[in-house]
Structure 1
Amino acid sequence: MRSALAFLTAFGALAGAALVGAAPASGVQSSTALAPGVTYRQYDIQGAKGLTHAHVVTVDLRNSHVHLGLLYPGAVAARAPVSQLADQQGAVAGVNGDFFNITETQHPGVEATGSTDGPAITHGHVLKAAVPDGQRFGPALPPGTSTRDVLGVGSDHRARLDGMTLTGSIRTPAGRLPLGGLNQFALPVGSIGAFTSDWGSVSRIRATCGTDTDRAAPCSTDTYEVTVRGGRVVATADSPGTGAIAKGTTVLVGREAGAQKLRKFAKGERVEVTHGLVAAHSRIPYSFALGGYPVLRGGKPPAGLDDTTAAVRTAVGIANGGKRVYLFALDGAPDYRKGLTIAEVAAAMRSLGSTDAFSLDGGGSTTLVTRAPGASAVTVRNHPSGDAERPVPNGIGVFSRK
């Protein structure tokens, strides 16, 4: 890292709610309580590229009235501003989440799905699996990380980092086929993916574009789609379709070898599709999880973290054996927009007390919101670098029963 982080230590009264276009207060600010076990503060950080400003929500998961959950707009392939998601779900605080499929300029005529790179779980329900590493829309992954990396909270009320791999199959009278994807915007070459009502109404054709190593590769010309309802094939099509999928219905999309296998399915044929996510390191069921990538493990940053490219960032820190969580977002106001490198983010999270930390989508997506006690709506605390909130597919919400 080119310079050590210098945290300014002058304390002052907490500034008022951040408004787009206004200059945030400088210096370390005293904490304010949002709910029992949930506090908010902001402070300056001196990075290698200049001064930046951080906003932090601290969550004490030892408090039985507090929990973390997934903010999302009700569909995998959909987006909404963090403030809207937090208000709709009643969160007292929140930040944006995983990197996502924001544009499809490399595939003219193909709709961007708005779907995330990594897995997602809400209330113990699996929403989606991870795209191949070569298809992700985020920056280059540090060595040893992948799109399967997640941050989540288990049924034991502890936050942790993990990896999640799709498991599933398609059982037919002729035998069992492997499942290669679940509600994801990119399927592995030659595979079959499942799409459920969780996906939304966006076209499924993007799932057959690119390759496992090249996101910009052309869309496949060998595709097939099978609709299964009530355990039987009810429709087939030569290309992926669009529109909402009814509950109890699964749409199978195949590309290349996967498409050739689906062409053998006949209407009325019995088909059973099963799917789930298997955690690499924990047998504790996850109540919520979302994707990103680790920047601290056991108090140490992974080898190869970028220490040259500074930007506005969002991250999450874990401390006290998973019982304390820090939601961290940098300010995107012009005076602070140079931000931090990923290596500096790792150092900042460690300075907060984190032993593990996770990078989420940054830049124009970085948004942190809080709701003052008694307020009917949240306030955007940082200044989004695009001067307005960017709609995002998911985020982390902080919820309190008091």
Structure 2
Amino acid sequence: MRARLPLTAGALVCALTLLTTGATGAPGTSTPSISASPSAATSKTGTSGGTPSRRPDLRAERGPQHTSDGQPGWRAPVVPRLLAGLPPSRTDPTRSVVAPGVTLTRWDEADARGPQRFSLLTVDPSVPGVSLDYAGARRVSGTATLPTLLSAAYSGPGTVAGVNGDFFDIGDTGAPLGTGRDVERGVLHGRASGWTSSFSIDKQGRPDIGEVPLRASVKQRPGMRITNLNSPFVEPGGIGIYTAAWGTTSGYRVTSGQRKQVRMVLVRGGKVVRTRARLTSGTKINGVLLVGRGPGAKALAQLRKGARLDVKWWLQGGPRMAISGNKVLVRDGVVEVVDDRVMHPRTAIGVDRDTGEVLVLVVDGRKTWSRGATMVELAATMIDLGADEALNLDGGGSTTMLTRGGDGRLGVVNTPSDGHLRQVANGIQVRYRP
């Protein structure tokens, strides 16, 4: 934990902060109430200003850099040199045991950039009965509030805490951008490259942070390049796999609007049952649907109805559970990110190699009483907390943490910046089953 300043120094920092923060034009003067009820959730767009227009191809294929909502972050104010090196003032942390091996710690800080509010889950997977898993909607292309995801029957019993997960296609399909594997349901979605930095649990129950790409093969056509599984879009030139877990066909939305040089092939029972140059929408997927773009479409065009086709997919390293973020914050105890100017609400997950504990942190933001954090600040905080590796998860209005209260119910412990709970694509679930 960070060192504290005396109260007088902390008060001085806060006073100067209000001046510098005001100069940057940071919005917001009030703290809205937060509803934990799923009925208060927004639509899958997750915005308060109405439904955004269809996202352009560039965003679909590169993804957001900070948050799924795409809102511009507050700019970190320029700090006078006299104050730049001072440690923050900090309130005494409040700690509560959520379950054996699961602890919630909350505290506030203030430095020359402004105030911040933190909530930390410390999870010890070595404690009998404690586990972490992927929490997602029944359909990969579906969204729900975090309480709904954590309380769903398919999330399994014993949920004591959770946090939001991967970035997602907030303006269109609602699907997560990266890797997802559920202990019970197996591999749900993934990409061969481009969005594979992930938190995972291996077969021995050990947590890890690193690259977890999708691997896939077609036995009869080893040259086929499979790039995606149940993703919001197929990589240009590649072939994407869509299964019943995706839901219904999404037409040209998964080709980023591309209508020429595309093809879909439906495989059922190990045989090609349909091949078309036109993509359908709203049809239930009964089998394995292959969608190609450019060279990928050309490769699929060589297949004929009735041909034998064995399609397999897995995640590299064979983890039991996995979920992606967008950037590794810390690797081997070293900060890996460089952005120290844009502040957002943030969610991060890290691993303490010395203790084996998993550290899940949320920082409230877009509030006068909590400014959020830059990527560099988030990484530095994770190191201070003991993380040797850490990963940035979705932030902005998606940043949400829940824990089980004394009444046995899950409650929100932070303040989501939208003022209500956003519908998200997935999350990380903490379970305790004695």
Normalising by the residue count of structure 1, what TM-score does the alignment of the two structures yield?
A: 0.80
1:95 paired residue number: 163
Q: 1:160 aligns with which of 187, 208, 211?
A: 208
CA deviation digits over 1:206-252, x for unaligned, max 9? 3212xxxxxxxx635221111110111112232333346456x1001
1:129 is the counterpart of 2:211: no
Quote the Cα distance in structure 2 between the aligned partners of 1:339 and 1:188. Answer: 33
Quote the Cα distance in structure 2 between the aligned partners of 1:175 and 1:314. Answer: 39
1:113 paired residue number: 173
Tell me which amino acid in the other structure corresponds to 1:153: I
1:298 is the counterpart of 2:332: yes
Quote the Cα distance in structure 1 between the aligned partners of 2:398 and 2:187. Answer: 24
For structure 2, which runs of at least 5 residues remain unmatched after alignment?
8-30, 35-89
Shift, 1:265, TM fit: 2.0
1:14 paired residue number: none
Shift, 1:253, TM fit: 0.4
Q: Is the 8 A contact 2:193 2:227 kept in 1?
A: no
Q: Is the 8 A contact 2:106 2:119 kept in 1?
A: yes
1:232 paired residue number: 271
Aligned positions of 1:46-65 closer than 5 A: 46-47=110-111, 49-65=113-129
Distance change in 2, residues 1:56/1:8 (3 Å): farther
Q: Is the 8 A contact 2:192 2:213 kept in 1?
A: no
| SS class of match (1:259) | helix
Q: 1:182 aligns with which of 217, 226, 229?
A: 229
When structure 1 is superposed on structure 2, of 178-187 and 380-389 the one drifting more is: 178-187
Q: 2:105 aligns with which of 19, 41, 47?
A: 41
Runs of 4+, deviation exceeding 4 Å: 4-10, 244-247
1:275 paired residue number: 313
Q: 1:27 aligns with which of 64, 87, 91?
A: 91
Distance change in 2, residues 1:373/1:246 (3 Å): farther
Tell me which amino acid in the other structure corresponds to 2:217: S
Distance change in 2, residues 1:33/1:175 (3 Å): closer
Quote the Cα distance in structure 1 between the aligned partners of 2:92 and 2:321. Answer: 32
Quote the Cα distance in structure 2 between the aligned partners of 1:156 and 1:269. Answer: 40
1:80 is the counterpart of 2:144: yes
CA deviation digits over 1:134-188, x for unaligned, max 9? xxxxxxxxxxxxx11111111222111121222222244x775232221112222
Q: Percent identity?
A: 32
Shift, 1:374, TM fit: 4.4
Shift, 1:199, TM fit: 1.4
For structure 1, which runs of at least 5 residues remain unmatched after alignment?
11-18, 104-111, 134-146, 210-217, 280-284
Q: 1:266 aligns with which of 288, 304, 322?
A: 304
Q: 2:413 aligns with which of 369, 375, 381?
A: 381
Shift, 1:93, TM fit: 0.5
Q: Is the 8 A contact 2:291 2:297 kept in 1?
A: yes
Q: 2:361 aligns with which of 325, 328, 332?
A: 328
When structure 1 is superposed on structure 2, of 175-184 and 238-247 the one drifting more is: 238-247
Q: Is the 8 A contact 1:49 1:310 kept in 2?
A: no
Quote the Cα distance in structure 1 between the aligned partners of 2:355 and 2:199. Answer: 11
2:258 paired residue number: 219
| SS class of match (1:262) | helix
| SS class of match (1:317) | strand
Tell me which amino acid in the other structure corresponds to 2:369: Y
Shift, 1:328, TM fit: 0.7
Quote the Cα distance in structure 2 between the aligned partners of 1:47 and 1:132. Answer: 39
Quote the Cα distance in structure 2 between the aligned partners of 1:40 and 1:122. Answer: 24
1:400 is the counterpart of 2:432: yes
Structure with greater proportional helix content:
2
CA deviation digits over 1:296-316, x for unaligned, max 9? 1111111x4211111110001
1:203 paired residue number: 250
Distance change in 2, residues 1:175/1:101 (3 Å): closer
CA deviation digits over 1:257-300, x for unaligned, max 9? 21122223222222111111214xxxxx3111111121011111
CA deviation digits over 1:17-72, x for unaligned, max 9? xx9627xxx93332111111111121013355310101111111120210000011
1:343 is the counterpart of 2:381: no
Tell me which amino acid in the other structure corresponds to 1:346: A
Quote the Cα distance in structure 2 between the aligned partners of 1:389 and 1:244. Answer: 30
Quote the Cα distance in structure 2 between the aligned partners of 1:205 and 1:131. Answer: 21
1:143 paired residue number: none
2:21 paired residue number: none
